[in-house]
Amino acid sequence: MMQPALELVIAELEKIRETSDRAPRVSRNALEQLQSTYSLAVSLPGTAEPHEDRQEAHVSPTRRQLRESSANRVQMLASVRERVCGCTKCAHLARSRTQTVFGVGNPDAEIMFIGEAPGSDEDQQGEPFVGRAGQLLTKIIKAMGFSREDVYIANILKCRPNMPAGSFGNRAPTPAEMQTCRPYLIEQIDIIQPKVLVALGAVAVEGLLGARGTMRELRGRWHSYNGMPLMITYHPAYLLRNQSPSEKRKVWEDMMQVLERLEKPISEKQRNYFL
């Protein structure tokens, strides 16, 4: 019974699309719930379709499109990743990097976190936000009720900014380096189409919007990038340097705005973090 019900909903949506000037709007949550309800139904004894090909015949164009678009995203990201892997546009960075650091997470993510550039740990491991600041970001993501696998995380720069021989630490990317690498991030955003972007720190904002500003004036309110809601908050490295509950609370308030925008429930306990 579950499949005909799902088909009815989808048929109705298709009818709206065909007869209206505006495409039907359905929240991703609602679609996911419908899809998971159907998956559950076919996995229950006695409710499964007898043959896979029969199931395939019942798959509506809309649902097939959804499934294919997800597979397409994986494929399209893989193709950008391949170009990034071989990229030598910044010869000095291509020479000094251990590897490129493309991005990680769910190609269908609702939230995309954007940082500035890989540091030493990321350069070694090939994954963004894995050092101390990254571990703090992972904690923030978990406090929001997600896992790293649910969201997408990327940097403006895909190579670690080089350091003078014998020096330690990381340096911020230059505006020229960010401008050179930015198109790859734009491709990632275009493919993933997250519902909300979160820029971490003023350098990431500069890389994304090309505008300089202080975090005091930028954070805590909604901005827009290509029509997508953009929340700006402190880079987790800032919180490692300023561990006062009031600074943590600022970031948490920004993240609660993100949850509200995504219409995610916020518990009383969550509301009171760092108060």
Q: Give the residues lining the site for ligand SF4 (CB under 6 A).
A: 84, 87-90, 93-94, 100, 157-159, 177, 180-181
Cβ atoms of residues 131 and 120 within 8 Å = yes
Of the two residues 120 and 180, which places its CB atom closer to ligand SF4 in the complex? 180
3-state secondary structure at position 85:
helix
Cβ atoms of residues 93 and 170 within 8 Å = no
* Residues linked to residue 104 through DSSP beta bridges, in sequence order: 153
Nearest approach, Cβ of residue 207 and ligand SF4 (Å): 11
Q: Report the relative pairing of strands 222-225 and 228-233 from DSSP bridges.
A: antiparallel
End-to-end CA distance of the chain: 49
* Residues linked to residue 230 through DSSP beta bridges, in sequence order: 197, 223
Tokens at 127, concatenated: 């994954």
Of the two residues 101 and 258, which places its CB atom closer to ligand SF4 in the complex? 101
In angstroms, the Cα distances linking 174 to 65, 148, 157 are 41, 28, 10
Of the two residues 87 and 143, which places its CB atom closer to ligand SF4 in the complex? 87
Burial class (CB in 10 A: 0-12, 13-18, 19+), 99: middle
Nearest approach, Cβ of residue 69 and ligand SF4 (Å): 26
Nearest approach, Cβ of residue 192 and ligand SF4 (Å): 18
Residues of the chain by 3-state class (helix, strand, coil), percent to 5: 55, 10, 35
Nearest approach, Cβ of residue 80 and ligand SF4 (Å): 10
Nearest approach, Cβ of residue 119 and ligand SF4 (Å): 14
Of the two residues 63 and 89, which places its CB atom closer to ligand SF4 in the complex? 89
Of the two residues 84 and 199, which places its CB atom closer to ligand SF4 in the complex? 84
Of the two residues 10 and 207, which places its CB atom closer to ligand SF4 in the complex? 207
Nearest approach, Cβ of residue 237 and ligand SF4 (Å): 19
